[in-house]
Amino acid sequence: YHTCYCLSGLSVCQRSWSEDEDSPPLPRAVLAWEPCRCSEIRVKSRRSRSKEDQVLIKVVAAGLNPVDFKRMLGVFPDSDSPLPSVPGYDVGGVVLKVGSQVRSLKVGDEVYGNINEKGLDHPKTSGTLAEYTVAEENLLALKPRNLGFVEAASIPLAIGTAYQGLEKTGLSSGQSILVLGGAGGVGTMVIQLAKHVFGASKVVATSSSAKLELLKSLGADLAIDYTKDNFEDLPEKFDVIYDTVGQSERAVKAIKEGGKVVTIEPVGELAEPAFRFILTSSGAMLEKLNPFLENGEVKPVIDPRGTFSFSQAPEAFSYLETGRVTGKIVIHPI
């Protein structure tokens, strides 16, 4: 039997599995604008299981990102996967099975990762918002030893975006950076990586009033309340600006000569010399950052509303859509 309900286009399907059914069981969450079609998902998930470089993961927690609600709204019609599709990019879980070409992971490993290498290019139809998911070995890393699954699941897409964007700007030790949107999933990671991994000498970040202390606790030397001050009116200019909110036109006015502006959220025409990029995900990047997570210099930031259970996924999506989330939200238990 199965039961489904829909809210804002997110259809969550709950279905029981008989003992003699093949694993993995069907995902329980289905992103759809039409009635849940479990049997079709089943066929698709069977086909996608045949790749030998993949591992089957028992999902413990699934982190949400704005891309999840944007897909629900149909923002990427040309590059999205066909519906129905299970949402979710980020996962923290345990390896249950490995393909014959999997080299470094083994059954029982506790892993985390973003299961879509190119986030906007036909993401997997069997996403992480399910009891089981499948991912290529090279997209996963061992979970940092000091973190739980919820914390780990909150990290991959955001930290990858932060790291890659900073690399592309060439931010180097002793330089200054302004982070626009310092309290979001990506911004909280940009502040920490700029300070502790890239060695920025000065980190400035923007948020609304209530989040200024958080920015400082993450390593910002100065936190600007965007409801009161305009960052472009500051007397100082920056070597790098990381724009997570779509303010590149204003940002280019606040860089030093030769400075860089990277944006992940383009709004309108990109102002020169700002550039945009889209994350390419990898497990190697997570492995490189694991020591900073394990020594506590870089910390996951979970929104005060914390985690949402699987059946609360529609509420989690609605909250994410407000654009007011602090750090990350995670679906757990699944």
Residues sharing a CB contact under 8 Å with residue 69, sequence separation 6 or more, in sequence order: 317, 320, 321
> Per CB under 6 A, does 292 bind ligand NDP?
no
Cα first-last separation, the chain: 19
Amino acid (1-letter code) at residue 130: A
Binding segment for ligand NDP (CB under 6 A), chosen from 80-88, 137-145, 170-178, 207-215, is 207-215
How many angstroms separate the CA atoms of 108 and 4, rounded?
A: 32
Closest distance of CB 26 from ligand NDP, Å: 28
The tokens 């940002």 sit on which residue? 251
Among 54, 133, 206, 248, interactor with ligand NDP by CB under 6 A:
206
Residues sharing a CB contact under 8 Å with residue 196, sequence separation 6 or more, in sequence order: 219, 292, 297, 298
Contact 274, 254 (CB under 8 A): no
Among 81, 128, 161, 248, interactor with ligand NDP by CB under 6 A:
161
Binding segment for ligand NDP (CB under 6 A), chosen from 95-103, 104-112, 184-192, 294-302, is 184-192
> Per CB under 6 A, does 88 bind ligand NDP?
no
Among 143, 211, 299, 332, interactor with ligand NDP by CB under 6 A:
211
> Per CB under 6 A, does 267 bind ligand NDP?
no
Contact 220, 182 (CB under 8 A): yes
How many angstroms separate the CA atoms of 312 and 314, rounded?
A: 6
> Per CB under 6 A, does 279 bind ligand NDP?
yes
Among 208, 217, 230, 309, interactor with ligand NDP by CB under 6 A:
208
> Per CB under 6 A, does 67 bind ligand NDP?
yes
Give the three-class secondary structure for 126.
strand
> Per CB under 6 A, does 2 bind ligand NDP?
no
Among 158, 193, 241, 252, interactor with ligand NDP by CB under 6 A:
158
> Per CB under 6 A, does 117 bind ligand NDP?
no
